[in-house]
Amino acid sequence: MLSLAFTSCLAVHAENKNQNTDKPNVIFIYADDLGYGDLECYGAKNVQTPNVNRLASEGIRFINAHATAATSTPSRYSMLTGEYAWRKPGTDVAAGNAGMIIRPEQYTMADMFKSSGYATGAFGKWHLGLGDKTAQQDWNAPLSASLGDLGFDYSYIMAATADRVPCVFIENGQVANYDPSAPIEVSYIKNFPGEPTGKDNPELLYNLKPSHGHDMSIVNGISRIGYMKGGGKALWKDENIADSITAHAVDFIKQHKDEPFFMYFATNDVHVPRFPHNRFRGKNKMGLRGDAIAQFDWSVGQLLEALDKMGLTQNTLIILSSDNGPVVDDGYDDKAEELLNGHEPAGNLRGGKYSAFEGGTRVPVIVHWPKAINKPEVSDVLISQIDWLASLASLVDARIPKGSAPDSYNRLANLLGQDKTDRPWVIEQASNHTLSVRTKDWKFIEGSDGPKMIPWGPKIETGYLGIPQLYDMKQAGEKVNLATEHPEKVFELQQILRKVRDKSIQMK
């Protein structure tokens, strides 16, 4: 489908001469639940990611980069607003019918680019709420608040995640391909009369069955979280999600090839339910999760092909990353746990998604911009996604309104490989709001109550402990708690966390 779309393109040139070359295009490629060890260029076993490898071989691959949180809604909120999610109530993992978490009056990454003359677009997973109030959306009409209120000129998104209703795409604030014969109703409280569920009607689950939870409304032979009625021809098919998101993103590139653009390309892969297109099925020994990683790599390749054909590659800054660490069994019986075959989704890191340990928030980050990055590099500089807003504002000379992006600092020179000075500290948030302070050599995890393992199914250590933890990060695995041996270091990092919390600290 995408190859046919390119047949009408003009002849390829080494550089698009019509584009404003003073300002680079910027593309965020944001994977979902992709772990530090899930990509071939990060040492992954059993999976090939040639398109991501290309970005790494021509750009900077960071090995000490961090999301702000170990779950998706808070990490995305923080990255797009430059404010730690734990500062704002209601930023935990959002339901599909959550009201808009980033409010229209907040300054966002998209606002920053739009004010600097960029066309702005968002594609794929949103998971930051839509409409003004939770559970009060009318999905059969234009939503009262959507991404157009947050600085995005165009959006083609999923309201939340593929395992949550509503299972329809939202285009520019209303259901795409809306079917008036099948009006949509959504509830996260009770089912609608006569609607089957995965719990009561397992015989209807012809594509995937749940392993834990995920047994409510059935769409496309897969049961979800939450209840939904209607949708008709607007309902997505999971195997086509990557194709649909990618095709719309490529169209956006084509439409804006002669002006600077910012694209937030947030894939569904490798989040559950993992049900990739038949082109990728059965080709990876890790089964559906491996196939989904390959599908993610294909999506990256389609964007690169579009940029190449339109002569935009040289002056397009691409940042590829993930919203948090990996999870294997996250609710569906896709045999991901059984079929790892030696693959380690978090690499040599302890923990994973949800966790206070390093595997929860240390993620792949690759920066590719041929015009400014002349040679490939592997960088161990300590960086955080919280700084992307201020850094890119510096790149395009945008002015950030007073009080906006309060936790974001300009670390552009880090991203472009021009400065190897580490961020003095990185703040990380676990699923239960436990915070950690990460410096280049140490990690402090504050004391918190909670179970040792994630209680609802995934085999992941939480990192929660009733006493403070201190780990020497020069030693892999966060294995030995050194808090009692180094009380002065514990005090130092506790003070950093206290001052970050009350905004009394400034980065030097």
**pLDDT tens figures, 124-180:** 999 999 999 999 999 999 999 999 999 999 999 999 999 999 999 999 999 999 999
Those residues whose C-beta lies under 8 Å from the C-beta of residue 142, and which sit 6 or more positions away, are 173, 174
pLDDT, tens digit, 9 for 90 and up, residues 4-57: 443 333 334 444 544 556 899 999 999 999 999 999 999 998 999 999 999 999
**Cβ 34 vs Cβ 49: under 8 Å:** no
Q: For residue 403, how many other CB atoms are within 10 A of its CB?
A: 8
Residue 497: enclosing H or E segment and its boundaries?
helix 487-501
pLDDT of residue 22: 81
For the chain, domains (ranges, CATH) are 23-178+231-414 (3.40.720.10), 424-500 (3.30.1120.10)
Whether the predicted pLDDT of 98 surpasses 90: yes
pLDDT of residue 21: 60
What average pLDDT score do residues 475-496 get?
Answer: 97
pLDDT of residue 7: 38
pLDDT of residue 1: 41
pLDDT of residue 14: 43
**Cβ 418 vs Cβ 71: under 8 Å:** no
CA distance 104 to 150: 5
CA distance 274 to 157: 18
pLDDT, tens digit, 9 for 90 and up, residues 297-354: 999 999 999 999 999 999 999 999 999 999 999 999 999 999 999 999 999 999 999 9
Average per-residue pLDDT for the chain: 95
Residue with tokens 């009080």: 403
274 residue type, one letter = R
CA distance 266 to 276: 16
CA distance 222 to 508: 51
pLDDT of residue 4: 41
**Cβ 333 vs Cβ 208: under 8 Å:** yes
Those residues whose C-beta lies under 8 Å from the C-beta of residue 150, and which sit 6 or more positions away, are 100, 102, 104, 106, 108, 110, 111
491 residue type, one letter = F
What is the arrangement of strands in the sheet containing 426-429, beginning at the earlier edge strand?
Answer: 426-429, 435-438, 442-445, 469-472
Residue 476 pLDDT grade (very low, low, confident, very high; cuts 50, 70, 90): confident
294 residue type, one letter = A
Give percent of the chain above pLDDT 70: 96
pLDDT of residue 10: 35
**SS3 assignment, position 244:** helix
pLDDT of residue 18: 46
CA distance 373 to 4: 32
99-123 residues labelled b (16+ CB within 10 A) or e (exposed): bbbbeeebbbbbbbbbbbebbbbbb
What Å distances lie between residue 432 and 13, 203, 435, CA to CA?
51, 36, 9
**Cβ 287 vs Cβ 47: under 8 Å:** no
CA distance 309 to 257: 11
The dihedral over CA atoms of 105, 106, 110, 113, expressed in degrees to the nearest 10, equals 90
pLDDT, tens digit, 9 for 90 and up, residues 425-465: 999 999 999 999 999 999 999 999 999 999 999 999 999 99
What average pLDDT score do residues 370-383 get?
Answer: 97
The dihedral over CA atoms of 237, 241, 244, 247, expressed in degrees to the nearest 10, equals -150
pLDDT, tens digit, 9 for 90 and up, residues 248-277: 999 999 999 999 999 999 999 999 999 999
Whether the predicted pLDDT of 247 surpasses 50: yes
CA distance 27 to 317: 6
What average pLDDT score do residues 343-372 get?
Answer: 98
